[in-house]
Structure 1
Amino acid sequence: MTNNPLGRIIPQQPPIEPQSDAHALKSRLEWGEPAFTILDVRDRSTYNDGHIMGAMAMPIEDLVDRASSSLEKSRDIYVYGAGDEQTSQAVNLLRSAGFERVSELKGGLAAWKAIGGPTEGIIESRTPAGADDYNVVSRMQNHLENQRKEV
């Protein structure tokens, strides 16, 4: 007996990879899957300027303490920093602290913006919303197009 009664209707998402690209994360967001967290490990002022919509600010200096007190060790976590080196360092810190399902978001915020992922923040708020930001039908069409793309 399965504990997912909608399993035949709603397919399971694949397990989180050690490294993910922006398309994989955007696909999960568009799918509406709630069981993951996005962490921005850059400094607070950089985060305030602009970040992936819904990302939590956890500067790398207090990352382990804050993550340990607020997130379950088995939660899917996507991490991005100022560059791939900072991202990798943050992921290694989390894994060393016992977090099991952590993924480096390759390319970080720049890669996310390049595929039209939603952002928020002081600078980002001055950028007009994309055509699909508030339109569910357009978001579903974009989701289907992203599924067809080669990664």
Structure 2
Amino acid sequence: MKLFGILPTPPPLKAQSRVYDLKARLDWGEPALTILDVRDRTQFNSHHIMGAVCMPIQELTSRALTSLELDRDIYVYGETDDETVEAATQLRQVGYKNISELRGGVAAWKAVGYPVESASSLLSA
């Protein structure tokens, strides 16, 4: 859609994001982003943000470097905001440029009623 010769653009990536910021990008239909859940696999299987990829913090940088481009927009969340900050710091230290720390993680996402997935919901699909 063009409005007065200007192409609309999605909200820009911020160093720290609220769940509303990520939801706005997803609602925009932007496929060029990745959501990383750095909690352990058991927590991830229990519930996670729809579309998130499980990369436990212990193996985060090695797995990310083999599967994600350094200039990709990445939203990262952990069990706590401290774990989220630690994960974002690790990714930035190995060269990732576009990292956003998702404040509140999956708990904040669920609290506002956004969709989550679990291992059981994926198996029944």
TM-score using structure 1 length: 0.74
1:62 to 28, 37, 59: 59
Q: Percent identity?
A: 54
The 2-side partners of 1:114 and 1:83 are apart by 15
| Deviation string, structure 1 residues 63-115 (Cα, Å, up to 9, x no partner) | 00000000000000000000000000000000001000000000001111112
Please state how far the C-alpha of 1:12 moved relative to its aligned partner: 1.4
1:34 maps onto 2:34 in alignment:
no
Greater CA deviation, 114-123 or 21-30?
A: 114-123
Q: For the Cα contact (< 8 Å) 2:10–2:28, is it kept in 1?
A: no
5+ residue gaps, structure 1, are 126-151
Could you say which residue in structure 2 is the equivalent of 1:23? 20
Could you say which residue in structure 2 is the equivalent of 1:84? 81
Please state how far the C-alpha of 1:14 moved relative to its aligned partner: 3.4
Aligned length: 120
TM-score using structure 2 length: 0.89
Letter in 2 for 1:59: P
1:46 maps onto 2:43 in alignment:
yes
Letter in 2 for 1:105: L
The 2-side partners of 1:27 and 1:37 are apart by 14
Specify the structure having the higher radius of gyration (Cα).
1
The 2-side partners of 1:114 and 1:46 are apart by 17
2:94 to 90, 93, 97: 97
Root mean square deviation of aligned Cα: 1.8
The 2-side partners of 1:69 and 1:13 are apart by 27
SS of equivalent residue, structure 1 residue 103: strand
Letter in 1 for 2:112: I
